Amino acid sequence: MHSDHAWIGEQAFAHGTEPPLVVKYGAHVDALKFARAALYDPRGIGLLVGPEHSGKTTAIQCLAAQLPDSVAVAVVDADGLGPEQLLTEALAGFGYVTELERADELLKLLNMFAVQQTRRGEAPILLVENLDLAMPATLRALNLLATLTAQSRPALRFLLTSRSRHRKLLSDKRLSAIAARLVATFRLGPLSASEAGTYLHKRLEAVGIRVPDDVFPVDVCDALHAVSNGRPGLLNDAALTALSRAARLPVRLADLDQLSPAEDGDDAPRDQSTPPRLILSRDTAVVREYTFSERKVLIGRSEFADLLIADGHVSKLHALLVLYSDALVLLDLNSVNGTLVNSVHVSSIVLASDDIISVGHHRIKVVDAPQPVRPRRIEPSVADTSKMKTLADMRRQQRLRAVAAREDTARRS
């Protein structure tokens, strides 16, 4: 790795930066609003759900920092913890260092502390990460904590996070008290493409990069957003890897070809038995079908292309499709005439089944694509290739808009 690139990557995108770099975006702000509302509801329990790398830990850390100093707050990661360990760490977070080892004794001490705090004003807050990874005995301990009361009100408030299985968890009898007090569940969504660009640039600015475009141009930001599914943790990893692979700055789209797919922790992994298919057509006539046998498919009129398209309006290396465990990503390779998906020009996008890719005079219909994790950014108006706008139609509209703009300028002058 080039030394300049190493410094930029480690300072802006490495995990555990000190002080932590936090960039606000829509889903993050909404998660914090939800958490505060749930904690100050009389029931006092909220559940924050999202796949791995979706920003739940950052939201927890920000929430803990924003709560008033008068409120006792403890943060515990339940991943793999037994009940004694979880209770010990919770007490330590509240400022109690104890030599007690038995779960019943620890529960009594925590109960005494929570009741005292509640009677003085505000019930303590316990922020528990990775509820879905907790041991069964630990779930029972948390449920017992949810039954604690003082002056006829809950003596302990919770914000819980889970990567998946939250519906099954909440139907478990071991969490009956938590389910009864649960105010609501909030799913932490991904960054949009524009938010991802802002996120990357603000992290660069925070470490002294005055012109972030000199590191990550807009098209590269869009591509990083696509390969990360808009998850901030994966976006950081992708940015760090891109900087490590780039021979020079700014990073180019070609540098992203070497990015390794990240494992996904979502609720519904894709069925790998049905690979995606591409249906290539021209003037409504099917030219050929292509079934994915490799992770990457190169589209163009070069003889080296996997999906060869004999069309003078298609670049030799026009676009690249990359298949991940949970997404099919399209990257335009700086083609001369551009790439459209559902009649909209794109530089990169996560594809869905029935999407129509337009390159030159040809159309490519996507079949059996993985279900996108993030909300669809572009919705097809029709699913059939014969009814999609042609490249000539798009150019005609652009020329008409340009003529109208010139005429308007002439009238004003």
pLDDT one-digit tens code per residue, 4-30: 666 787 888 887 666 677 889 999 999
Check: CB of residue 216 under 8 Å from CB of residue 235. Answer: no
Q: What integer pLDDT is reported at residue 284 of this predicted model?
A: 86
In which band, very low, low, confident or very high, does the pLDDT at 363 lie, cut at 50, 70 and 90? very high
> Which of 171, 116, 191, 106 lies closest to 144 in space, CA to CA?
106
Q: What integer pLDDT is reported at residue 18 of this predicted model?
A: 61
Which tens digit of pLDDT belongs to each residue from 82-121?
A: 788 899 999 999 998 888 778 888 999 999 999 999 998 8
In which band, very low, low, confident or very high, does the pLDDT at 395 lie, cut at 50, 70 and 90? very low
pLDDT score of 289 more than 80: yes
Spell out the residues 6+ positions from residue 259 whose beta carbon is closer than 8 angstroms to its own: 227, 238, 241, 242, 245
> Which of 84, 56, 48 lies closest to 92 in space, CA to CA?
84
What pTM was estimated for this model as a whole? 0.63
Q: What integer pLDDT is reported at residue 19 of this predicted model?
A: 60
DSSP readout, 176-242?
HHHHHHEEEEEE-PPPPHHHHHHHHHHHHHHTT-S-GGGTS-HHHHHHHHHHHTT-HHHHHHHHHHH
DSSP readout, 8-30?
HHHHHTSTT-SSPP----HHHHH
Long-range contacts of 152-155 (CB under 8 A, 24+ apart): 153/42, 153/118, 153/123, 154/42, 154/43, 154/44, 154/118, 154/123, 154/181, 155/111, 155/114, 155/115, 155/117, 155/118, 155/123, 155/124
Q: What integer pLDDT is reported at residue 191 of this predicted model?
A: 92
% of the chain with per-residue pLDDT over 90 = 49
φ, ψ of residue 224 to 5 degrees: the values are: -65, -35
What's the mean pLDDT in 67-78?
A: 92
Distance between the two ends of the chain, CA-based, in angstroms? 55
What's the mean pLDDT in 142-158?
A: 93
pLDDT score of 158 more than 80: yes
What's the mean pLDDT in 316-321?
A: 89
φ, ψ of residue 247 to 5 degrees: the values are: -75, -30
Is the C-alpha dihedral spanning 231, 236, 237, 238 positive or negative? positive
b/e burial code for range 254-284 (CB count within 10 A of at least 16 → b):
ebbeebeebebbbeeebeeeeebebbbbeee
Tell me the two tokens of residue 366: 């996507």
What's the mean pLDDT in 55-82?
A: 90
pLDDT score of 38 more than 50: yes
In which band, very low, low, confident or very high, does the pLDDT at 63 lie, cut at 50, 70 and 90? very high
Give, for 331, the enclosing helix (H) or strand (E): strand 328-332
